[in-house]
Structures are given as structure tokens and as C-alpha cells.
Chains A and B, each alone.
Chain A
Amino acid sequence: MRALSRHIETLGALLLAVIWISPLVFAFWAAFHTTSDAVNFNVTAAWTLDNFRTAWDGAPWLRYFLNTFVLVTVILIGQFVITTLAGFAFAKVQFPGRDFVFILVLMQLFILPEVLIVENYAMVSRLGLFDSILGVGMPYMASAFGIFLMRQAFKGVPIELHEAARVEGCGWFGILWRVYVPLARPTYLAYALVSVSTHWNNFLWPLIVTNSPDTRPLTVGLSIFGAPENGVDISVISAATMMSVAPLLIAFLVFQRQFVQAFLRAGIK
């Protein structure tokens, strides 16, 4: 009886896994077949790369890839600098008003940048950052989530190390740079993975702030490419989709354990 229910559960788990992965598998399969073969589920049909050729010629993908790459890099560097400084202040420096300011920062977890699109758009235009990669990245740099994460990481550093560095004549920045940052390396890695995958995938804000192929990230490019007005068929859309998710997906499959650990570390604390 027990064995039977085990088998049923295994079957259920596998069935759900197959259902869950099927949209991706179908799109993958369609990307390598002609549209008529794809929609008729002609399993024996020949594989082709034509869809990728058509898709590649249909939009400046290389530029989009580069934009996305620059975007996630700019955001990540900005976030590292800003959240390190702020996280250190909240974790290890005593100053009046600290707790109050920390609550203000935590509030930003709920004031989503996505919700403030109208005013943030006005702000970015005022700063002359409209249609620039910096304009897309700036609102995300002072991430409350990142500040919180860094604060937690720095809090865990034993005060003895801090004192020892001070006795050795290290200043505040020296201590931060030589003691705290190296010790928080796992947190930085986790935060980097979460940040990169979030901003690689972000859409609404880049859609609003970018207005030319020179700044548009992949997600926005993909949505424009797939728009029904362009009349591209499903196999070509699948090919374009596969192309744009490939880097992150392959990275995920290779570094799966680190990815999952990263999301855990980021979420649990």
C-alpha cells in the first residue's frame, strides 16, 4: 500500500514537472522547425535553423544583448557601491535617527518602482536621462532589499575583527574594504545573481524609458519584434524567444545549485 502511494506520488511529481517544462520544450522544438511542421506537430520533420536566421535579421539583437548586458552591469555596480555603504552604516555605525531612517528604507520595499512609473518618468526626463541606459538603471540602484541584505551580512561580522583592524591603524573605509567586504562575499554573490536575473528580465520600466534601438534591452526588443503588427510567425517568435533567454537559461542550468542558493539566501533573511 505504502509502495503504491509512493509510485503514484512519483508519477504525480513527474507529470507536474513535464507539464511545467512543456511550454519551454514546445517553443524550443518550434524554433527549430518550419511553422507548418511546428503547428501540425510533425514529430519526424527535419530540423532547421531558418527561424533563427529570419529572427536574427529582423532586429538588432546584438545591440539588444549589449544593452541588456551593460544595463545589468551598471545596475549591479551601482547597487554594490550604494548598498555596501548604506548597509555598513545601518549595521555598524551609531548615529542618531538611524532606526527611523532604516524604517524609511524598508518602506521602499513596498513603494515599488513599477508603481511610480509616471513620476519616475518625469524625474528621469528632468535629469536628462530619458532614453539612456543610466536612466533605466538609476531607480533600482538604491535597492532597499540590497541595503537590508548587506546590513544583515555585516551584522554577522565579529566585532573583534573590526577592533583588530582599527588597532592596526585602519580607517573606516579601510575596515569596510578589507574586513567587511571580503567576509560578505557569499552575500554579494547571492545578491548579484538575484539582481542580474531580475534586471535581465525587467520589462515595464525599460519600455517606458527607452525609445531607440541604442538603449532598448532584450525584453523590450523582443516584445516589439513579436508584436502582431509585424506579422512574424510563431516559429520565428519562438526562435527569437529562445535566443533572448538562452544566456540566462544556460547559466542557470550550469550553476543551478548556486542560483537556488542565491534565491534562498536572498529570500529567507
Chain B
Amino acid sequence: MAEHVNLERRRQAIYGWLLLTPAAILLTTFAFYPSMATLWTSLFSRGTRRRPSEFVGSENYTDLFADPTFWKVVTNNLIYAGATIPISIAIALGMALWANSKIPARGFVRTAYFTPTVLPMIAAANLWLFFYTPGLGVLDQIGSLFGLPSVNWLGQPETALWAVIIVTIWKEAGFFMIFYLAALQTIPEDLKEAADIEGASRWTYTRRIVFPLLMPTTLFIMVNALINSVKLIDHLFILTKGGPNDASKLILYYIWEMAFAFFDAPQAAAMTIMVLLVLGIVAAIKFSYLDKRTHYQ
């Protein structure tokens, strides 16, 4: 009997690993090994034809920290994250509250909010180009109605990053709205009735009952928005190419530029490690939070 159980257990183990093999191979090839390789590359100098690359330890990192462009890019990305995360969450929440209430043309409203989500970032950038182009663009045309001077939104350092931020918010707010909508629909009706009986205003109800109940959703969205603030850079290729003067350059774009325009793989690797570190911290926070809530069991 014991032998039978043992045999079954062994068989299950073999099946389990067999089933995992394709995923394990691909994950190793395109996630785990490259992460390790990135760390390795970041410790070597850039090889040239005359001088092969050699171990330099932390030199790439010290170079990186001495590079003013790196700090500029980090600052930009912090502003990018600091603006897109709260603003898109706030807009998403407002959208969800509206799209969930009984208003006329609710179907149109929902569709309008969500549509940017299904567009490629590249296409979104093209649409917004039409708004931002100086002289001809929609924004300048509206401005000229009020006698405002033409503004080169994408061409001047003060506004370029913000123009990029607006496109990101436009793209992701409707997506986040969906999660809020789902959460709103799980709030039981009796809570609203109870609040009405107690004579609570709609605002009090929203603030005291709805917002706290939406908290887990907000945290979930926040993690997503944080990841997006690293990942969503496609529109830079169309709108600003990181310019003018690096004013709108973000980290991932800079990594791409380092590796594929300047061919400096070690520098790019060092920067990638930084990003992975940050993402790792986010992951740790998320998993410890999730573990506490045992969300995925």
C-alpha cells in the first residue's frame, strides 16, 4: 500500500515537471537568464575591436551616477510617475462613479472612456500630434480663438514632458476605470439604502463607504500604474524622441537609446539593473500585501 502511494507520488512529480518544462525553458531563456546576464554585462567594460571588454566591477555604475543625463532621466521618470499615477487613478475613479450612476447616454460615456485603451500607443501619439503641432494643431487653434500666442508644446523643455504625461493619462485612465466599475458593482445595495435612511448625503456615502471599500482596487491599480510608468514609453518615439534637450526622456527610452543607438550595452545593462531593483521592491511590497490578504489562493 505504502509503495503504491509512493509510486503515485513519484508519478505526479514527473507529470508536474513535464507539464512545466515548456514554460520553464521559455521563462529561463527570456526572463531569468537575461536578468542574470544583464547583471553580468553591467560589470564589464564595453568591448571595442582593439580592446576586448574586461571586468570593471562597479565602474559602469559609477559612470552612470556621474552622468547628468541619467539623473535628468530619473527625475523625468519620477515626475512622470508622480503625475500619471495619482491623476489617472483620480480620473478613473471619477469615470467609474459616473459610468456606474444612472445618467443618460451611459453606454456612450463608458465607450468613450474606454476606447483609448484598445488603441496602440503609437496610434495614440499620432492622434495627439494633431493636437500639439504648433500653429496648425487643435490646441493652438483653440488658443488663438482667445488671442493666445502659438505654443510649441512638444518642442520646448517646459512643456514637452507634460504633453507626454497627458497622453499617458488619456491612455490608461479608461483602463483603470474598468477595475473600479467592477468593484463598485460588488458593493451591496443595502449599504446605500442604510445610508439614505440615516440621512447621509451622497458625498458622505461616497467618501465614508464607497472609497474605503474601493481601497484594495486602488492598491491593485496603483501597482499597475507604477509598472506602466516604467513601461509606457512608445509615444516618445513619435512625439518627442526624448527631447528637446532630454526634457522628456524616460528611463526605458534611455536604455533603448544606449543599447541600440549608442551601442553601449554595459551602460544600458547597469541602468536595466536599477530598473529591475525598483520593480523588485514593488513586487516585494505587492506580494507581502497580497500574502496578507491571501488574494491568490
Contact = CB atoms under 8 A, between A and B. Distances in A.
A89 B227 contact: no
Interface in B91-148: 94-95, 98-99, 101, 103-105, 108-124, 126-131, 133, 136, 138, 141
A21 B126 contact: no
B119 A82 contact: no
A219 B98 contact: no
Interface of B: 9, 12-13, 15-17, 19-20, 22-27, 29-35, 37-38, 41, 94-95, 98-99, 101, 103-105, 108-124, 126-131, 133, 136, 138, 141, 170, 174-175, 178-179, 181-182, 220, 227, 230-231, 233-234, 237-238, 252, 255-256, 259-260, 265, 268-269, 272, 275-276, 279-280, 282-283, 287, 296
Contacts of A4: none
Question: What is the interface of chain B mostly: helix, strand, loop, or mixed?
Answer: helix
A105 B23 contact: yes
B103 A20 contact: no
B31 A109 contact: no
B103 to A, nearest CB: 5
Interface of A: 6, 9-10, 12-14, 16-18, 20-21, 23-24, 26-27, 30, 39, 41, 81-83, 85-86, 88-89, 93-96, 98, 101, 103-123, 138-139, 141-142, 144, 147-148, 152, 172, 197, 200-204, 207-208, 218-219, 222-223, 226, 234, 237-238, 240-241, 244-245, 248-249, 252-253, 256, 259-260, 263-264, 267-269
Contacts of B30: 113, 116, 120, 123, 138-139, 142
- Those 6 A-B pairs whose CB atoms lie nearest each other, nearest first: A95-B16, A119-B34, A142-B26, A201-B120, A17-B112, A89-B19
A17 B127 contact: no
Given A27-B130, A203-B121, A234 B136 contact: yes
Contact of A245 (B114, B120, B283): B120
Contacts of B101: 9, 13
A82 B120 contact: no
B38 A252 contact: no
Contacts of A112: 227, 230-231, 279
B19 A16 contact: no
B124 to A, nearest CB: 8
A89 B114 CA distance: 35
Contacts of A245: 118-120, 123
Contacts of A201: 118-123
A27 B12 contact: no
Given A89-B16, A264-B178, A144 B27 contact: yes
23 contacts: A12-B98, A13-B99, A13-B103, A13-B109, A20-B112, A82-B22, A82-B23, A88-B19, A93-B12, A103-B287, A112-B279, A115-B276, A116-B30, A117-B255, A118-B268, A119-B272, A122-B34, A139-B30, A172-B15, A201-B122, A223-B122, A264-B179, A267-B178
Nearest to B267: A118
Contacts of B268: 118
Nearest to A140: B30
B256 to A, nearest CB: 6
B237 A203 contact: yes
Nearest to B105: A14
Contact of A41 (B26, B141, B179, B283): B141
A143 B122 CA distance: 23
A10 B30 CA distance: 48
Given A116-B35, A119-B34, A123-B34, A86 B22 contact: yes
